[in-house]
Structure 1
Amino acid sequence: MPEGDTVFRSCALLHRTLAGQELTRAELRVPQHATADLIGMTVREVVARGKHQLTRLDSGLTLHTHLRMDGTWRVVRVSERPPGPAHQIRVVLGTAASLAVGLRLPVVELLSTADEESVVGHLGPDLLGPEGSPGGWDETEALKRLGADPRRTIGEALLDQRNLAGIGTFYRAEICFLQGVHPRTPVGEVRELTRLVRRVRQLLRANVDRPTQVTTGVDRRGQRAWVFERPGKPCRRCGTLVQVEEFGPLGKERLSYWCPHCQPRN
Structure 2
Amino acid sequence: MPEGDTVWNTARVVERALTGHVLTGSDFRVPRLATADLSGWTVAESASRGKHLLLRLTRDGQEPLTLHSHLRMEGAWRTYAPGERWTGRPAHLIRVVLRSARAVAVGYHLHDLELVPTAEEERLVGHLGPDLLGADWDPAEAVRRIAAQPAATISDALLDQRNLAGVGNLYRAETLFLRGLWPWTKVAAVADLTGAVELAQRLVASNRGRWTQTTTGSLRRGETSYVYGRRAQPCRRCGTAIRKAEKSPLLSGTAPRSRPAGRIGEKAELEDRITYWCPRCQPEPAATATT
Coarse TM-score class (shorter-chain normalised): over 0.9
**Equivalent position of 2:79 in the other structure:** 75
Offset at residue 42 of structure 1 (A): 0.3
Offset at residue 247 of structure 1 (A): 2.8
**Equivalent position of 2:127 in the other structure:** 122
1:262 aligns with 2:267: no
**Equivalent position of 1:184 in the other structure:** 184
Gaps of 5+ in 1: 131-135
Give the TM-score normalised by structure 2.
0.87
Residue aligned with 1:128, SS:
coil
1:107 aligns with 2:80: no
Offset at residue 140 of structure 1 (A): 1.5
- Conserved in 1, the CA contact under 8 Å of 2:23 and 2:43? yes
- Give the aligned length: 261
Superposition map of 1:158-197 within 5 A:
158-197=158-197
**Equivalent position of 2:289 in the other structure:** none
The one-letter amino acid of 1:173's match is: A
Give the TM-score normalised by structure 1.
0.95
- Percent of residue pairs identical: 52
Offset at residue 37 of structure 1 (A): 1.2
Offset at residue 81 of structure 1 (A): 2.4
Cα distance in 1 for partners of 2:151, 2:76 equals 36
Task: Write out per-residue CA displacement over residues 187-209 of structure 1, whole angstroms, 9 at most, x where no aligned residue.
Answer: 12112211111111111111011
- Conserved in 2, the CA contact under 8 Å of 1:82 and 1:99? no
**Equivalent position of 1:31 in the other structure:** 31
Offset at residue 36 of structure 1 (A): 0.6
Cα distance in 1 for partners of 2:177, 2:147 equals 20
**Equivalent position of 2:254 in the other structure:** none
**Equivalent position of 2:209 in the other structure:** 209
Gaps of 5+ in 2: 249-256, 260-268, 286-291
Cα distance in 2 for partners of 1:159, 1:88 equals 27
Residue aligned with 2:246, SS:
strand
